[in-house]
Structure 1
């Protein structure tokens, strides 16, 4: 039974979200003119994307295919996604769809093993799959669902595919990991490493925001380590904007006034433009190293200052690696010291 205190904080977080979302919508309107990207020809490149069967991910896949990229989608319902693309594109020659359940580290491991064997060199990994505002649930690995799907499983997948990304990259044309995040990280509570599952007081809005904060904290920490140990691989975060997708299903606004979202939000295709730019576009803007950049509307942006907290970055890295200790032999050597 929900307590009065928990109800209060749930309402407070709903207010925070409306304020954060309103700010982001204004930002999208102001910088809309930058949200465009001419697709390059990347014939021969290989891209892996999670959750590419609907919403933003679906349109990102179509744009990658239009750039002649070989795309491998990891998703739960393979047949459903395959049928959807067969009705949308002319040929499936450059598209492969494999089973992947982001709620299971075992599934992530099996997917990565399959991909590593088929594609020794991988140019792009798009960590796109996600859940938002779902009821409290622990995955079979014992991790709160938002944190597992939006962050930890993608973190694990990135490490498993890192050798293939290193092989494909060069100092002239680097491989790239793109973490699809959200401006919601700005309203995240402090990460309580003593209660990562939020078992004491679960608020779905806060759990989602925290998972997105974890994404950016991890991106920044890995970026620094990549510069030292695998400089041919870039890693960035991208906020696609406030996009009217299925993730809003069940939210107050979607239930009470769904027509509003169509007028104030980006379409999935517009959100995909920002993500595709982070995947294939130029990143090194104004002399800033691309490894820890955060993007929105096809331009460099700045995440919340708490993302720069090195102590939190390091603690998150250590905690995340510890949760993967059963896969010790598959963790890159330079990261094992943090386990």
Structure 2
């Protein structure tokens, strides 16, 4: 494989909202180590940082398409070079739009969405009253994880500013507001509707792997400052309050930012829908979306988080423990296996 001088296929890595170009560097390194010169790794710079926040997701998809085509010219590769799209978080939504809108322009052999808000970000539906209620209810629990009351005040102020923006993020708001990429992640946006229709209608037969994870127990994420007998009930309460805050349901599983159901593009995921798999530790698998839609598969991973900071509370509040999904060995292994399958490389 490493003796190949020209790429056999390309992998496009699409970072999350507001993230740098190299956010998926761990995946890029794994691809290089596995495929060598056989893979052309493309990490678009056209939607980095604030651009992904204020540009519409459709405009970002257009720019990514142009970026890919320019890279093909630069590396003198064929326009029909097989392409695998890998999108993390918001990048997964961009990947789905590329599949939905530009499958005639690119030879898309596969799409991988990693912890992507395929049904939108439920947090964007919260109103100012709900935000204040959450802060009030969670105050005692925050202290258990060492989140000081002075920080809580700052969080309320920050979230107060965010709450002022919430009406502008509603899909029905009639004026243009410079957070179009974020606005597209509202569960009721036309962007999310397009992604849902694309997947539930079979995605044109394109092989798709949807990766989702959950870690909804704060006891596994922080150093607890109180004796076990004193904090257990408080932390269980925090888990439920926080889950309701970011998912709309006390008992919905999530990855600290996105509900499991949104990651899987489903309305709701019950405990009974998650079953053990022999694929490896901390890994479960789910059936395809429909009986006649075998090209779309899902994998769920336990105890993997979206990011090391709790963006829904405060971007500067970091967990003490927890493995990020894009760094997990089992996830990287499964990515490689899927890529080999959809590009017809030896497994």
Q: Check whether TM > 0.5.
A: no
- The answer to which structure has the higher helix fraction is 1
Higher Cα Rg, which structure:
2
So what's the TM-score if we normalise by structure 1?
A: 0.39
So what's the TM-score if we normalise by structure 2?
A: 0.38
